[in-house]
Amino acid sequence: MGDPAITGWLGKSGQAFFDALTPYPSMLNTATAAYREIGDAFEIFSSRTRSLQPQFDSLCTQCLSKLQAITTDGGLPETDAKQLIMNPEQLTGNLMAVASHSSLGSDQFLNSAADKIRAHVIDAANLRDGQLATLKSQTTTARKALLDAIHDAAAMASQVTKLAGGKGTNAADFGTRFAAFGGAATDLNLILPGSVGTDLEDGMVLDPAAGPDGVPDWWTSLTDEERQHYWQSNPEIAALLGSVRYYTDGKTPPAVSSPQLAKALKDAYIRPGEESQIDGDGQLSTALDYELDTGLQVGGRWHISKAAGTLSSLMKVLDNPNSDLTPEDQIVAASMATRLWRSILGQDKTGNVGQMLKDNPGRATDLENTLKSAMSSPSGRSIMGDQGDYDWDAATGLPTLPPAPPTNPVNDGIDGGDIGPGDELPELPEIDPLV
């Protein structure tokens, strides 16, 4: 990179390329350090667990020996022996309680076996309170060290794209940095064909896994302008964010910044103070799942139309540039829309929901129109797919995925035809690897 022949390659654009690229070596060093730290953490944890395992095994053997001694000396079933060991602070009372269960008889048990058992229980309690407590503490320490190392390494890795900011205005966009340093876009297109305008090639990793706050790190690291750009240019973003369920798990709506989104979410959760007829989170999608599965209404009404209407409202919020959604808001909206869509596509096992729609043609028509309208938006196509991907039941307005076409048994052999049982495989021509 410091070779004058390279920096003078395209004049001003060459120097701009050099300046824009400069942060990347430090990014690679950061990523390398992060992976090394994770590897070291696992090695340390593995070493500690290997040393702890024999101690746990020994303690387990000793405890089982005490249990067996109590069972044998007291003529007690295993259940009573466990009761004595697990409640040493109530030993006297428990000895009286289990005396009648002893095969020795109550009198002999209390006269001859109780003292032996008392000693066994005290030994077992010491094992549990002493050695076990120490081993648990050591294990907890090792586990914490591992988790701390992984957290630190992950935090380092999440900074990789941020470190590439240089003097540019867009930390994740090499092309913007190149232009900020005075490079010409036409020159960059000559150097890196296909790179201009495809920002996702600049180190952005589309990963739905939630970060420490439940939001994918790569999404929160972007500026508002960058997120808007990716949302408009990449049709898969909404579907990807819709798979993050962190914020939409639970019985109450998550806190969001957008009033429009808060209004759309209102019908996605059970009303405050109301009781749900179904087990679980009481969400609209859960109610619909229950109705499709059992054929029974929730709260005296069907929820398929309400689910479609709420889904449509969420799509409008997602694609409205004036909604002012935060990164978390976008994930909440996409996640809830995805939940509702998956429920709507659920199997009507009893046919009762479909029959209700058939009995109400206007409702069925409204349902189909609502869903197709939602699919017409960019986020709708991302999460729901295209209208042509589904078979639409004119009587119910419900979409279903068409059956997969049957496989053609003809011409599926290696030689382009069928090979019957016992037939020899055809000879394949030799291929010269140098040609």
> DSSP 3-state helix, strand, coil percentages of the chain (rounded to 5)?
65, 0, 35
Count of CB atoms situated within 10 Å of the CB of 36: 11
Count of CB atoms situated within 10 Å of the CB of 213: 12
Sign of the alpha-carbon dihedral angle for 254, 259, 261, 263: positive
Long-range CB pairs of 154-160 (<8 Å, 24+ gap) are 154/34, 154/211, 156/30, 156/31, 156/33, 156/34, 156/37, 157/30, 157/31, 157/34, 157/35, 158/211, 158/217, 158/221, 159/30, 160/27, 160/30, 160/31, 160/203
Look over the chain and give the mean of its residue pLDDT values, rounded to a whole number: 75
pLDDT in tens, 377-414: 888 888 888 888 888 998 999 998 776 444 444 444 33
pLDDT under 50: residue ranges of the chain: 161, 163-172, 193-215, 273, 404-435
User: Is 210:223 a contact under the CB 8 Å cutoff?
Assistant: no
CA pair distance 389, 341, nearest whole angstrom = 14
The pLDDT score that the predictor gives to residue 417 is 42
Rg of the chain's alpha carbons, rounded to an integer? 33
CA atoms within 13 A on the CB side of 132: 12
Helices 78-86 & 23-74 angle (0-180, nearest 10): 120
CA atoms within 13 A on the CB side of 396: 16
- Angle among Cα 27, 29, 33 to the nearest 5 degrees reads 120
The pLDDT score that the predictor gives to residue 355 is 95
User: Is 399:354 a contact under the CB 8 Å cutoff?
Assistant: no
The pLDDT score that the predictor gives to residue 408 is 44
User: Is 367:357 a contact under the CB 8 Å cutoff?
Assistant: yes
- Pick from 269, 238, 243: nearest CA to 256: 269
Q: What are phi and psi of 424, to 5 degrees?
A: -85, 150
User: Is 251:270 a contact under the CB 8 Å cutoff?
Assistant: yes
Within its chain, how far is the Cα of 198 from the centroid?
27
Domain residue spans in the chain? 23-165, 205-400
The pLDDT score that the predictor gives to residue 371 is 95
Give the list of residues 6+ apart from residue 266 with CB closer than 8 angstroms, or none.
253
